[in-house]
Structure 1
């Protein structure tokens, strides 16, 4: 084991404070005096208002309201801030060196090309050709228990040392006896070159790829549209030997020529693998993707419901997915496909859509209940568990009261649900199905569920607006409706409908009948 010495410097941070920060864009090498670490390694501020050389010529980083170079007040509580090229580690030596950063802060990560450089195992490589390495910072105040005005970090220690030479690929027992060609166990690995054009772009060149063997490319955390989603590694099998060149690009938006993803596929980011020469004989393509748990929590998705979808000639095709590692802060997933193209890293969700509807009535009065029976299909890749649905008007304003219904529907399954609604105002209304998991709404061809007319007729009035009389509430002999049991058919006016003249006539009739009976009884036999 070779013993290597290292040099360390302390960089004072005037305080990364939980108040507000506006990030600058871009970074460039700035030719200014440096804060020396050794004769060959130095620190230099980037092209941003946060890093500068103080009166002693030492590098300082100030992201507070006290910094006169910025107009804002640091970083928000419960926020994520990223600054690329905060400062540079420069190198003027002839041998390969490595540098890393240590600190005792919380929620602060120093990165190179989006990868942490906070341990010797993840140190940044310094070479005579790569003599200025930009160091960025990622600040996540969501994971730190802080209040406005708190300091996240006071100082950092930057370590540098000469890199230990890499061991030969054949191992410690390898020897140069001139007979390598006689040993069939020795194989030649391809020459891999990965250029990091930006945090979201890698340009890959492979020379002498062995046909039929698996080839691995370390992308070192290529950003997939979001710093919290990273493409770490690609592996593939080329069916024939040769050279391969391709670029990998992380994207926030869907590629211009790609179709929309299927229902229920909610993209979190995209990446595309573009070969310099199309039609490469590539098979068994695999990608390893790392996602921060905080990003999964923000998206409301479990690790097993994250999937990669590959663009094909017929649309998006789901890759074979599995979770290969779960840490306290990240989840590592592996996506296997037949070849490379454009990919969507997505959360899989239910997507509910109505297929058939039946309304209990086409016309109701204000306040009168209307029952809507609807067949609902889950067109998404994830099951709907206790998902809430409602029936609303297209403008979502006229429903006086509605009933929310919870549904459980598996992918590709259909369920029938009944929802009761009431309307507060008269009018013609188009009905739609609503809910967080409902992805399909009314189209230009008409409403999804149907239409209903809400009349302005007052409850208890007839068709002409007059009050119903007693005869309207019972049947009559003219239409064959049943009458009373006493007369077998005719209408029976109630006693309250007789006036005084009716009573007088009835009394006279009764008197005549009684007189006639008296005369009959008195007549001689």
Structure 2
């Protein structure tokens, strides 16, 4: 025998809808005693609990969500959840008298016995609303809403699936945990009746991260709650901007996933990932250089990674986060390059050494080491090894020399340092030694004979002496 539950509530378009959070008995009888077996819980910004009642607020007065548009059809997915606590499968649907509102689950209306959602024991279903504010259907109120639950025979559910629900379980504390997969690139996690501070484990069923070939996956999420319910949207698409921000930091983005906390009730969480064996080796990634970056739209923060071992042919690792946003799994890299190079001077003598200086920058996310080569006319003449910290620049210097005169191109790791001109003494800095014969040839040439002023004075002095001697000789008496 079937009973229906009439809920004393009204929906004013662009207003609010209220249900009791726990329904009254739905069935009677000793075998189908489903007392208090249907519950409702919020799962979006449009719904919340107020004094034990689920309130759905579609108005512009709701500070956390946009209201229903005028003269339009508005669809809101996953407004609240209906939970079935019975011991067997049940068909659940809602009925009311308004043509302006449609309740649906898994994309299909659930407003008749033929159009219902089938729930397993301790399973939940996401209920969405489609509100039509066009035409005359937008006038009036919903005077009565009825939630129907009918026990389903085994043959009624054989081979059937309850929408996109993947897993449902009941934790040791009595809370209900559900994973819903709307499509291959997303997951939706829900936990009901959880205690504040309690940690719930969600199975992501190896969700392949965006930007990968399916090898890098999110496997699980351990989430602590600050309230009585958790509702998380996980999406592995649309993360291009976050991956670009990580690349600008100098790291190599391997894949990304975004997690949205629909009820703002999540505390600290642990995200668990895995890759096939050999994944890191094939990409030249050292495990200690693996990182997870959290992009909250404003700040890009780096989270530490813990390797947790291998199991089932996959290498597993995890990271802890204080909250949810977009997460990019990345490999920290050193990215060293020569930014510029210069010669000490542009000319030199044959064999004379000239210093060449180069700046090496590290645009990566970790400290790196690199050996740079100095070449003259394409031939390597020197090598220097330098270590540069992340986001820093280092300088190296080497000496180059060339014996042949002429112009010679100097480069450091292919970066032009300039042209070195090697030139001889008459046009540059070079000097040469001369032989004694060449020095003699440079001496002034003297005449073989000549009579100069010095010779004339000397002759005059001699004649004066002779004349004086003759005078003295005449005055001296002879004996």
**TM-score, normalized by length of structure 1?**
0.45
| TM-score, with structure 2 as normaliser | 0.49
Greater Rg over alpha carbons, structure:
2
